[in-house]
Structure 1
Amino acid sequence: MNRRRPPRSASAGELLTTLQQLTSRARREVELQRARVELAEALQREMLPSSLPDCPGLRTAARYAPARSGLDIGGDWYDGFVLPDGALAFAIGDVQGHDVEAAAFMGQVRIAMRAMAATAADPGEIVGRTNDLLLSVDSGLFATCTFVRLDPVAQELHSARAGHVAAVWGTADGRSGLTTDEGGLPLGIRAGERYPVTRRRLTGPGAFVLVTDGVVEGPSYPIDRGLDAVMRLVAVRGTAEAGELADAVLRTAERTGHEDDAAVLVLRHGAVPGRD
């Protein structure tokens, strides 16, 4: 008859050695994860604009937070640049996924949109042409976006939306609400898609706040609830300094439990010179 030997108790020295090995391995994994996150964030920063345009009476700010899962390289993006006729262009968008492929497609969207804006003034035409160009690349990915043209002389804001989250507006007297742009399908879905343009007059001090869904939606946090939280915030702090408002809006994402990346773009119009 075979008799099983009783398990041998590990000595204190063996336990200490095992503990040291596990600690060393955990430290290496933490350091590797930290390096990976820092590299991803550095790459993301390089793919986003280092500054945004503004002008007398307009202050701008943008914020970005990386994804909490995947490669931490996201497809959320924002942009801002001066158009050939002197008006200002701003855009925000969200590419499907958060990996290297999504980040590369995000770069293509930004470049394509800038190229189209160099030859077209109408936001709907710019978004439509960008959509058709991206479909010709046949990447298999899609992206939502909102493109804004702001004319500081006429004090008008024209926008076109491609399946993106509604923007939030706020005024100095504490009112706020959601934009009701009709919009079209996300970029990369259907060729020849039309993107209606919504025109707004900028009357008095206020804010126009654009976000990606990572700010307002989570696994068990409906987007309507998230947008309502941003509206309440903008109603109270709509005339705050642009960067301060962008920080506050981004912090609302903490309650959603999201794992996606997140971006915020704030256009504060009617700003007093020297106050921001």
Structure 2
Amino acid sequence: MHGVPPDFVAPWLRLPLSSPTPVAAAVREQRLVWVGNQEDMVRRYPRVAAALPYRFSLAAAPIAGEHRGWGALQLLWPADHPPHASRRDCENAAAGARRVARVLDAAGGPPDFPERPWIVPDELVRPHPEQDGRAAVAYAERLPEGALALDLHGRITFLSSTAARLLGRPADRLLGAVPWSALPWLDDPAHEERYRTAVISREPTAFTALRPPDHWLDFQLFPDAGGISVRISPSGRSAAAAPATAVPGSAQTAPTAPSAGRLQQLMHLAAALTEAVGVSDVVDMVADQILPVFGADALVLSAADAGRLKIIGHRGYSAEVLERLDGLPLDTDLTPAGRALADGTPSFFARPEEIARSYPEAPRISGKKAWAVLPLIVSARPVGVCVLSYTRPHAFTADERAVLTSLAGLIAQALDRARLFDAKNDLAHGLQSALLPRTLPRIDGLDFAARYLPAGRGQDIGGDFYDLIRLDDRTAAAVIGDVQGHNVAAAALMGQVRTAVHAHAAAGAAPDQVLARTNRLLVDLEPDLLVSCLYAHLDLTRRQVTLASAGHPPPLLRRPGGRAHVLDLEPGPLLGIEVAAGYPLTTLPLPEGTLLVLYTDGLVEVPGTDADSVTAALTDHLSRHTADHLADLRADQASDRAGGVLDRLIDELVQVGWPAGQHTDDIALLLLQATRRAG
């Protein structure tokens, strides 16, 4: 990285590909992402906007290698850049990403990722001509104002004697220091925020601060890619004329306020935690985004359950240590977790000796050197405990304690919501699984594979279903359908439809009659939900299939040695609408090697993409690749591996339909392959 201090990117050192950030979107969608200004960022990526409320433009270009995606290249422009990307901007970003991809491809494997990003020295990016540094110092000393230089980390790299005099501190005590840390009266989040604005937006900015007891100073900041030049001069303002927002700092009060950077990190983490859905999301969010920000090395997240602390997430601990800590009673004296949860007060231990005074076994169990024990409490109700630990002694500043204490409340609420979601989700999907067939019957002369994929997280259960019914030794019925909605009512109706279809098929009804009788049942039930269904009667003796459709997407068909195409079926109306509805029949030959792909609309209805285009891509994939699958099937026909070939084909079809994953609707697939009869 270059041109940005490391603490600015601390919340994004590790990101899941699903995160709502420009760089993750570029990798997911394999396209250039451009964010023109702050308004654009707020609209599209509000979490990032909360953490970086500055004026700048951004481009994220995917680093696409020859055989794999490596990541993304992110470029920032200052505030004076136009909000619309020029052709040159896009070409430069894409060209840079391609160059990085070629280097990574040539390396032959993934690089070793450092714990912290590598900082590209300014000299490698912007070579400066050789000049006499003494002349520059002499120039600064002749100025009537104070001159001071900051690097991108906020450290003082140069100051004139006038600047040292105005700041009231010798130069040797300020060089290498951060102003708001070295000078208590500058430790105001508003002042640090001016510095951060200058670094990101690359716009000059200014502020006025009071050096006790009554010296008002004007600070003017002039940034570029290498750092910030600061001009300091007396403002002539009196204390009585101080603005209402100016609060003189003091050594006793200033350190208690979290820095601007910490406040923005807290806003970012709060936004991130609101998006966590399940318990695993909360654990990943804490591990990937909170640990790096505070420099911690390990994590244990425990939930209060039946009087014990059950570990539900962890990082950086061995299995032996976790086994020792899991299931401790809430009143345990082995670690401070129980006491912290009982009195609701966070505990901070900077070194092993501190924790050993009250809990002598704790440092020996974990082998860590410092701990932050955060009780997780919601509405006076204990939820759990979050323990951050360090492999080296760590003195917790007042800033860190304040932010971690605030974060504990946010983690508690996120964890409480996540546990409720997981409980509801487990119940819903348990019901879904109970309504779908546990196993499908083996039928001589027919190979098959089936898959049900629920919608992305945050959705309730859906009504997609499939079934394969053995009618006799040489005939079978295949059915797939979709009940409108994602709720318990949809799942319950799905169970009724599947049961009705199964019963009518087993009774020997023809395909059109199976749908007609099921339709009359639904009309009587008046469910107020739409149901589509496709029924296929497979006669493996005559080598033919007869199909009837109730408003369902037509299946895909591939003949041996031919191209795949969409079957042209005349559909009847959806089930449950018209009591006297008829369902036309279509009969087709089913020679050995014929492949039928039955699916629900969740496979092809991709937001922002035409369903016909997705269907065309699926048929093209079947045409180009199914020949190899069929060869594998013929080779494996006598084994149990044939179903595995079709299972892999299902994976490929889902990938074609949803290349970025995260499908937003349920998907059901049933693949049927006519094979040679055994014996």
TM-score by length of 1: 0.89
1:50 pairs with 2:438: yes
1:270 pairs with 2:658: no
State how far apart, in whole Å, the 2-side matches of 1:152 and 1:85 are.
9
Q: What is residue 152 of structure 1 aligned with on the other side?
A: 540
Q: What is residue 124 of structure 1 aligned with on the other side?
A: 512
State how far apart, in whole Å, the 1-side matches of 2:566 and 2:453 are.
23
1:78 pairs with 2:461: no
Q: What is residue 63 of structure 2 aligned with on the other side?
A: none
Counterpart code for 2:667: A
- Kept in 2: contact 1:250–1:264 (CA 8 A): no
State how far apart, in whole Å, the 1-side matches of 2:414 and 2:513 are.
53
Q: What is residue 650 of structure 2 aligned with on the other side?
A: 246
Q: What value does the CA root-mean-square deviation take over the aligned residues? A: 2.6
- Kept in 2: contact 1:174–1:236 (CA 8 A): no
1:216 pairs with 2:621: no
- Count how many residue pairs are aligned between Structure 1 and Structure 2: 272
**SS state at 1:90 partner:** strand
Quote the offset at 1:120 in angstroms: 3.8
Q: Percent identity?
A: 37
Quote the offset at 1:70 in angstroms: 5.5
Matched ranges for 1:4-19 at <5 A? 9=257, 12=399, 13-19=401-407
Q: What is residue 666 of structure 2 aligned with on the other side?
A: 261
Q: Which moved more, 1:73-82 or 1:18-27?
A: 18-27
- Kept in 2: contact 1:53–1:60 (CA 8 A): no
Q: What is residue 478 of structure 2 aligned with on the other side?
A: 90
Note the alpha carbon deviations across 1:93-139, whole angstroms, 9 max, x for none. 11111111110110110011112223343101110111011110111
Quote the offset at 1:84 in angstroms: 5.9
Cα distance, 1:70–1:116 mapped onto 2, change above 3 Å:
farther
Quote the offset at 1:167 in angstroms: 0.4
Counterpart code for 2:651: D
Q: What is residue 414 of structure 2 aligned with on the other side?
A: 26
Cα distance, 1:61–1:125 mapped onto 2, change above 3 Å:
same
**SS state at 2:612 partner:** helix
Counterpart code for 1:96: Q
Cα distance, 1:187–1:69 mapped onto 2, change above 3 Å:
farther
Structure 2 gaps of 5+ residues are: 1-243, 248-255, 259-397, 630-644
Counterpart code for 1:189: I
TM-score by length of 2: 0.38
1:170 pairs with 2:558: yes
Note the alpha carbon deviations across 1:1-56, whole angstroms, 9 max, x for none. xxx89899466333321112212322333344344333333322221111223423
1:191 pairs with 2:599: no
Counterpart code for 1:104: A
State how far apart, in whole Å, the 1-side matches of 2:477 and 2:518 are.
15
Counterpart code for 2:617: A
State how far apart, in whole Å, the 2-side matches of 1:102 and 1:167 are.
23
Q: Which moved more, 1:166-175 or 1:98-107?
A: 166-175
Quote the offset at 1:67 in angstroms: 1.4
**SS state at 2:658 partner:** helix
- Kept in 1: contact 2:443–2:474 (CA 8 A): no
State how far apart, in whole Å, the 1-side matches of 2:521 and 2:419 are.
41
Q: Which moved more, 1:171-180 or 1:146-155?
A: 171-180
Cα distance, 1:242–1:270 mapped onto 2, change above 3 Å:
same
Q: Which moved more, 1:153-162 or 1:70-79?
A: 70-79
Cα distance, 1:84–1:6 mapped onto 2, change above 3 Å:
farther
**SS state at 2:609 partner:** coil
State how far apart, in whole Å, the 1-side matches of 2:506 and 2:445 are.
24
- Kept in 1: contact 2:592–2:676 (CA 8 A): no
Q: What is residue 109 of structure 1 aligned with on the other side?
A: 497
Counterpart code for 2:669: V
State how far apart, in whole Å, the 1-side matches of 2:678 and 2:647 are.
15
Q: Report which structure shows greater RCO (CA 8 Å, sep ≥6).
A: 1
**SS state at 1:16 partner:** helix
Quote the offset at 1:177 in angstroms: 0.6
Counterpart code for 2:435: M
Q: What is residue 54 of structure 2 aligned with on the other side?
A: none
1:36 pairs with 2:424: yes
- Kept in 2: contact 1:182–1:196 (CA 8 A): yes
Q: Which moved more, 1:43-52 or 1:188-197?
A: 43-52
- Kept in 2: contact 1:123–1:149 (CA 8 A): yes
Note the alpha carbon deviations across 1:47-82, whole angstroms, 9 max, x for none. 111122342321011011101265430111101111
State how far apart, in whole Å, the 1-side matches of 2:677 and 2:476 are.
19
Counterpart code for 1:266: L
State how far apart, in whole Å, the 1-side matches of 2:652 and 2:453 are.
13
State how far apart, in whole Å, the 2-side matches of 1:133 and 1:152 are.
30
- Kept in 1: contact 2:557–2:594 (CA 8 A): yes
Structure 1 gaps of 5+ residues are: none
Quote the offset at 1:273 in angstroms: 5.7
State how far apart, in whole Å, the 1-side matches of 2:592 and 2:472 are.
26
- Kept in 1: contact 2:600–2:669 (CA 8 A): yes
Quote the offset at 1:187 in angstroms: 0.5
Rg bigger for which structure? Answer: 2
**SS state at 2:523 partner:** helix
State how far apart, in whole Å, the 2-side matches of 1:76 and 1:96 are.
8
Cα distance, 1:5–1:234 mapped onto 2, change above 3 Å:
closer
Quote the offset at 1:205 in angstroms: 0.9
